[in-house]
Amino acid sequence: MKRIIAISFALFMLLNLIGCAKDDNSSIKIGVLLPLTGAMAKFGEMEKNSFELARIEINAAGGVKGRDLVFVYEDDTGKPDVGRMGMEKLITVDKVPMITGGYSSSVTFAAAQVAQKYRVPFLVNTGSVDKITEPESFDLKISDADKFYIYRLNPPVSEYASGLEGFLKNLASVETAIIFHENTTFGTNGAKAFAISCERLGIEVFEIDSYTEGTVDFKPLLLKVKEQKPDLVYMISYVMDAALLMKQSKELRLSPKLFVGAGAGYTMPAYRENAGIASEKTISATLWHQSLPVPGATDYYNAYIAKYDDKSPPDYHGVEAYAAAYVVKDAIERAQDFKSASIKTALDGTDMMTAFGPVKFIAYDAKINQNKMETYVVQWINGNLELIWPKHLAKVEAVYPIDWNAEWK
Amino acid sequence: METFVQTLVSGILIGGLYAIIGIGMTLIMGVLNIINLAHGQILMLSMYITWVLWTYFGIDPYIAIFITIPIVFFIAEGISKFLLHPLMGKDSILPENQVLMTVGIGMVLVELARVIFSSDYKSVQTSYTNKSWYLGTISFNTPLTIAFIISIIMTVGLFLFLTKTDTGRSVRATAQDKSAAALMGISTGKITVLTYGLGSALDAAAGSLLLPIYYLYPDVGPLFTVKAFVITILGGLGSTVGAIFGGLILGLAETFGATYISMGYRDAIGLIIFLLVLVFFPGGLKRFTKV
Amino acid sequence: MSILKIDNLTKRFGGLTAVDHVSLEVNEGEILGLIGPNGSGKTTIFNLINSYYPVSSGTITFNGHDITHMPTNRIAKLGIGRTFQVVKPLKRLSVIENIMVGAFAREKTFSGARKVATEVLEFCHLDGVAKMKAGSLPIAGRKRLEIAKALATRPLLLLLDETAAGLNPTELVQAISIIKNIRTELGITIVIVEHIMRVIMTISDRIHAIAQGATIAEGTPAEVSVDPATIAAYLGSDFKAENRPDA
Amino acid sequence: MKKYLLLEKREWIILGGAALAPWIFGFSPYFQGLLILVLMWVVLGNSWNLLAGYTGQVSFGHAAFFGIGAYAAAIPYHHFKISPWWGLLTGGLAAVILGYFLGKLVFRLRGPYFALGTLASGEILRLLFGEEEWLTNGHNGILYMTTFISKIPYYYLILFIAMGSLVAVKVIMKSKLGFYFLSIREDQEAAEALGIDTTKYKNIALAISSFFAGLAGAFYMIYMGFVDPEVVFALHNISILTILVGIIGGVGTIWGPAVGALIMVFIQELFRSSFFGVGPQWVSQLHSLVFGALVVVMILYLAGGVVGDWDIIRKKFGKKRVEGQG
């Protein structure tokens, strides 16, 4: 018994020692919350790679205020509760003054609350549900910008399709649509947002239908397309579901005028890999494309491929992470010290150009600390993801109308 | 009408796949009288074996069946012999100890897969993965059709094994009444170990058949574990013919439910039928088929 | 006055009639022996009395209550205790705890149940093994524990199902004395099923003999033992197995 | 051992230690968070243990009660901004009501069928709560800005609930109710013959069990400030983990779930954090693997759990020491 007490006492002391983070003057630690294992690990990995790419570049160029930038990664495993615990650990154990990352909408939203509670700035770079930057969801008012610690680099999901809206406006022949979405926060909200877009465009939405991630057989869902014959099928899915949806659409020989994805899975290389020829000529909303005339976009794209894998090139998720790293660097450099409050003040004044596009946190509608930006449209043409909208930036002409029978031969 | 027929076809095809997953479970549940909560994980294991064989050795998943079956059979025999069988005679407060053991085994299998293969999605792209054939306007997914045919063949084979061979008869006798079987000189210990291997081997075949249709990640299993025990209860414990019908019923109920009620309730429909059968029609289809 | 009245009791399992229009009465304070060859339906009658099986037809009346379709636990509460041929000790509980479970049928408190249990322990000569786990008792102890559990519920009527089977001669003598004491000291009416003729003939006041589910004879032990129908039933195929002196 | 107000001296010492624990750990909110998690699992483990370990009804669907408790706290907040703290009153109650109806269904089943029935019930509720968006906000979940930044109030709240569940189980197991539960676990037929209405007492066990599971769920909502059906109705992460906590600690023992919860949370966290950052990074991938392996080894060699088989463990430990001296 005595021995057990002694051992546990020793263990407690050890824990206490580890619990006290050492103050280190040679580096600055920033927390990153990402799904590194679990269903969304593919995205997490791409973002982590991009954070590392940026970190190496930044440190090679002299670091931040003479210190080395260090990212402390915390795996949220794609689960909101784990994400919240990870946030707490970053704040209380690693004692980071700022956190970035945040992949899935539900995890990011749940985790943002922890950052807000502890008053640690959280720069969201992917989580897209609108309410993340709406102070109302955190019991704050729109005028409470000085108390609001959540910032977002990427546009909210309601604006994902803004580029798409312009694209569809030009195609007078699209009059009806069906919307399929995974039953997640991202999916439900994306579907609602697109239904509103359709209303603006005068497109009649026949049906909004949800499915569970990991469904084996989508045919009951897709048969609705066969029956109701909409012009457009809009789908909000992650990679594997996206691939199966298209494979089974091909199998059922569906022939709407357009298959449109809402970003997420539909721009990933793994989508093309799995859906094969069924992915050909599908269209997707996107937040970025490497051919955009944004300084550093192509450089990032090439650097990523050179450093990691030429078979899985990065899409907008990667560049969001890459850009977030530079926004972090910029803010810390302008901050008076390394404290959370100072970094927040610096973030308020952010106005810079990144490989993702211009970044400036503004207040509009119900949101504050939100970066507002344009979105784009891409299409898989001959196995490559090509930018097709806006027209003045596109190097490739959109393929439309599409003869699915010929494409899917 | 076309929607109806296409729904019917999809339901039957997916039901065939469910059936073969369910047959393994029904054997195990019938003879060992435990719920094998590692069933989906065994399926996952065989999918990884099939994936490795395809990716690194270029072996077609349908040929890989002949390799995954013996590998999984021996692994399952080991699990059964060293982890499940020793618990049989042991006195424990909860008779469900073996069930809980399968939970532990399942966890270990998933986490091993995660350590070895990471959480990434894997899939195989063969020449036929994206193929389908048509009868008029009705489409039949080719890999699903093949899976359906193979699962029918395997069930017939299993049925013959259970009714025509001595070992098979011993398995059935053990399933019906363990103590009576032991009195008749059947080594029930050996039979239970064998049955776990056999049930898992069927599961392994299902894994190889599933891979070209679906995709693979360490947590793929539980979805199919649940399907398997729904089928087992629908078809009646230990009934192979019942499992075939149970699989088809589940496939059809899910597909029709998804088409005509709501896709979101797809998985719930199976579970609700399951609970109703469990409570109000114990014995399932076995009441009618008797085998 | 009869405490238990069974009227035209019938039980069918599918096509098989296990109990066929049996009628019998048990008088208060007596010991009634129920005899019959293997599979003649003795245990089935017990299982019908305390509602383990639903009755196919006929009625069972206990102490003025119609208990034909009453759930088992309510019948026990009314005052019918029983033992099982295949003993059912609560294995992981100690002997005294087993008996306490029975005692709680009439006692609300822990101490009350414990007091009753202690008395029953002594009565059944189990006081030496009170703390032992019921699962590790030898067979004689388990048989006595069956009686003790039932006694602790303070029954008016006790159904004893083969409580003497598998005991050695010394244990047998002890068992017989316990059964006799139950009636004399506690005044509990007993119906007993037993294979060992020597036991049943010595302790029963009356005997009710059945074969293939139907009554074949009734009367004092002396009357029944010379009854031609009884002899025929026992001299049938079951004769050797049933009537060996030690069986 | 002398009784001091329901508990033994040793148990009071443990409770005293638990009351001081947040300070012993250097006041780190991170470790306080872990302790809160341990205590939450103690409540869940106790709840399950009463039904499964003591009454023999092995539930594979305890997430149903946990989840309904969490939503009982969350739904009024979502619709009417009623504080989730009321969940401490409504959570347990909602779970008892659910248990009442579920009991009518699943208590018709025995053994493995009961396990399957409860498992399916939990899964159906998970799908239902994900789908019925008008009521539950679906997969968006329900978020609430938690009341305190400090973990201390939560710690003492859950310590109080955990202590309550422990004392409740202890008192029950010394009463008629406890004896009846045990007899149902040991032999339902024998119990019926002794005048025990097994259905009624199984329902009582379920009601008490679901009450504490619901309370734990409501606490989860108050403390985490977030619920979503995949989290609170999770088959593996709640239902099965609850069982494993019971198994590791010791089924049918008073302190088993507490010991099991402590082992489960700390082993998982020890590995997940790569031995609190001391070990190499890859160790963190092993956290579930190690726990799974522990479950397998425990069931194989120590089916009674750490508490139930403490004598065996002590004997082995003692032997080693003798060898060491020799």
The pLDDT of residue C236 is 58
**Residues A332 and A299 reside in one and the same domain:** yes
Note whether A42 contacts B219, CB cutoff 8 Å.
no
What value does the mean pLDDT of chain A take? 89
SS (H, E, C) C124-188: CCCHHHCCCEHHHCCHHHHHHHHHHHHHHCCCCEEEEECCCCCCCHHHHHHHHHHHHHHHHHHCC
Residue bearing tokens 């004692």: A95
Q: Which of A101, A81, A96 is nearest to A151 (CA)?
A: A101
**Whole-number Å distance between alpha carbons of D51 and D184:** 11
Question: What b/e readout covers B102-140, taking b as 16+ CB neighbours within 10 angstroms?
Answer: bbbbbbbbbbbbbeeebbebbbbeeeebbebeeeeeebb
Which residue on chain A is closest to B260 by alpha carbon? A220
Give pLDDT tens digits for B38-51: 999 999 999 999 99
In a domain, D106, yes or no: yes
d(CA B26, CA B40): 13
φ/ψ of A11, rounded to 5, equals -65, -45
If pLDDT is split at 50, 70 and 90, which confidence band does A52 have? very high
Residue at A10 is within a domain: no
Is C135 in contact with B91 (Cβ distance < 8 A)?
Answer: yes
pLDDT band at D319 (very low <50, low <70, confident <90, very high): low
pLDDT at D321 over 50: no
d(CA A76, CA A98): 17
Taking the CA atoms of D295, D297, D300 and D303 in sequence, report the sign of the dihedral they define. negative
Judge whether residue C231 has pLDDT over 90: no
B262 pLDDT tier (thresholds 50, 70, 90) = confident
User: So what's the pLDDT on residue B240?
Assistant: 83
A401 upstream amide cis, omega within 30 of 0: yes
Predicted confidence (pLDDT) at residue D317 exceeds the cutoff of 90? no
Q: Could you tell me the strand order of the sheet in which C16-27 lies? A: C16-27, C2-13, C57-62, C65-66
Pair (A134, A166) in one structural domain: no
Q: How far apart are CA B80 and CA B34, in angstroms?
A: 12
pLDDT bucket at D1, cuts 50 / 70 / 90: very low
Q: Which residues of C touch D252 (CB under 8 A)?
A: 92
User: Helix axis angle, B97-117 relative to B39-57, nearest 10°?
Assistant: 20
Chains D and B touch (3+ CB pairs under 8 A): yes
Residue A141 and residue A246 in one domain: no
Q: What is the ipTM of this complex?
A: 0.89
pLDDT digits (tens, 9 = 90+) for A107-158: 999 899 999 999 999 999 999 999 899 998 888 898 999 999 999 999 998 8
pLDDT in tens, A298-313: 999 999 999 987 677 8
**A164 in the same domain as A28:** no
Tokens matching residue A60: 């090679």
Residues 6+ apart with CB under 8 A from C241: C38, C247
Q: Which helix (H) or strand (E) holds B163?
A: helix B142-164
Ordered alpha helix ranges (H), A94-252: 105-118, 162-169, 185-201, 219-228, 239-251
Question: How many helices and strands in chain D, by DSSP H and E?
Answer: 16, 4
pLDDT of residue C247: 38
Structural domain includes residue A348 = yes
Q: Does residue A278 sit in the same domain as residue A361?
A: no
Chain A nearest-CA distance from D226, in A, is 7
DSSP string, D153-164: HHHHHHHHHHHH
CB D154 within 8 A of CB D34: no
CATH number at residue A210: 3.40.50.2300
Q: Do A145 and A27 lie in a common domain?
A: yes
Residue D233 scores a pLDDT above 70? yes
Q: Report in angstroms the alpha-carbon separations of C24 from A282, C33, C215.
A: 85, 11, 9
Residue D14 is assigned to a structural domain of this protein = no
Does position A284 have pLDDT exceeding 70, yes or no? Answer: yes
Sign of CA dihedral A200, A206, A208, A211: negative
C181 pLDDT band, cuts 50/70/90, is very high
The residue in chain B having the minimum alpha-carbon distance to the alpha carbon of residue C91 is B93
Q: Give chain D's mean pLDDT.
A: 89
Q: Among D271, D193, C120, A369, which Cα is nearest to B111's?
A: D271
D188 token code pair: 């339902």
Mean pLDDT of C214-234: 87
**What is the pLDDT averaged over residues B119-140?**
84
Chain C's closest residue to D175, CA to CA, is: C110
pLDDT digits (tens, 9 = 90+) for C27-85: 999 999 999 888 888 999 999 999 999 999 999 999 999 999 999 999 999 999 999 99
Q: Quick check: D272 pLDDT over 80?
A: no
Q: For chain A, what is the domain count?
A: 2
- pLDDT beyond 90 at B33: no
The larger pLDDT score, comparing residue A342 to residue D3, is at A342
Q: How confident is the model at residue D73 (pLDDT cuts 50, 70, 90)?
A: very high
DSSP assigned state of D53: I
| Residue A273 resides in a domain | yes
Q: If you measure CA to CA, which chain B residue comes closest to D118?
A: B275
Map tokens 């080594």 to a residue. B187
pLDDT of residue B289: 54
* Residue A16 falls inside a structural domain: no
Above 60 in pLDDT, residue C224? Answer: yes
What domains can be seen in chain B, in order of their start residue? 2-288 (1.10.3470)
Rounded to whole angstroms, the Cα distance separating D269 from D284 reads 9
Q: Which residues of C touch D182 (CB under 8 A)?
A: 90, 92-93, 97, 101
User: pLDDT per residue over A76-119, tens digit each?
Assistant: 888 887 898 889 889 988 899 999 999 988 899 989 999 999 99
What's the domain range around A71?
Answer: 23-155+293-371
* B224: exposed, middle or buried (Cβ count in 10 Å: 0-12, 13-18, 19+): buried
Q: Are A114 and A190 part of one and the same domain? A: no
Fold annotation for C2-79+155-243: Rossmann fold (3.40.50)
Would you put residue A95 in left (φ > 0), alpha (ψ -120 to 50) or beta?
A: left
Contact C207, C35 (CB under 8 A): yes
Asked if residue D64 lies in contact with residue D229, where contact means CB atoms within 8 angstroms, the answer is no
Q: Do chain C and A touch: 3 or more Cβ pairs under 8 angstroms?
A: no
Smallest Cβ distance to B34: which of D112, D185, D236?
D112
Instruction: Please check whether residue D220 lies inside any domain of the structure.
Output: yes
Burial A84-99 (b: 16+ CB within 10 A, else e): bbbbbbbbbbbebbbb
Q: Are residues A244 and A384 in the same domain?
A: yes
Task: For residues B201 and B183, give the distance between their C-alpha atoms in angstroms, rounded to a whole number.
Answer: 28
- Do A48 and A145 belong to one domain? yes
B91 lies within 8 A of chain C by CB: yes
- Whether D56 is in a domain gets the answer yes
Whether residue D96 is contained in a domain is answered as yes
Angle value at C-alpha C14, between C10 and C17, nearest 5 degrees: 35
Q: A196 lies in a domain?
A: yes
- Using a CB–CB cutoff of 8 Å, tell me whether A305 touches chain B: no
Reduced to 3 states (helix: H, G, I; strand: E, B; else coil), residue A66 is: coil
Let me know whether A92 and A149 are in one domain: yes
A residues 207-266 closer than 8 Å to D (CB): 212
| Six-digit token string for A335 | 């901050």
Per-residue pLDDT tens for B49-79?
999 999 999 999 999 999 999 999 999 999 9
Give tens-digit pLDDT for B152-204.
898 888 889 988 999 999 988 888 888 888 888 888 888 989 999 999 999 99
Q: Cβ contacts of residue A327 below 8 Å, gap of 6+?
A: A100, A123, A153, A347, A350, A352, A354, A359
Q: Is D176 on the interface with C (CB under 8 A)?
A: yes
**More confident: A1 or A194:** A194
Task: Mean pLDDT check: name the lowest of B61-65, B143-147, C16-20, C237-241.
Answer: C237-241
What pLDDT, on the 0 to 100 scale, is given for residue A119?
A: 94
Whether residues A277 and A397 share a domain: the answer is: yes
Is there a single domain that holds both residue A258 and residue A276? Answer: yes
Full domain range(s) for residue D181 = 27-325
pLDDT at D313: 85
pLDDT given at position A24 = 63
> What is the DSSP code (8-state) at residue D71?
H
Q: Is the pLDDT of residue D286 over 60?
A: yes
Residue C227: per-residue pLDDT: 86
D160-190 pLDDT, tens digit per residue, is 999 999 999 999 999 999 999 999 999 999 9
Looking up residue D307, the CATH number of its domain turns out to be: 1.10.3470
Q: Do the Cβ atoms of A116 and D149 come within 8 Å?
A: no
D230 interfacial to chain C (CB closer than 8 Å): no
pLDDT for B90: 77
Quick check: A5 pLDDT over 70?
no
Residues belonging to chain A: 409
pLDDT at C102 over 50: yes
For residue A51, what pLDDT is reported? 97
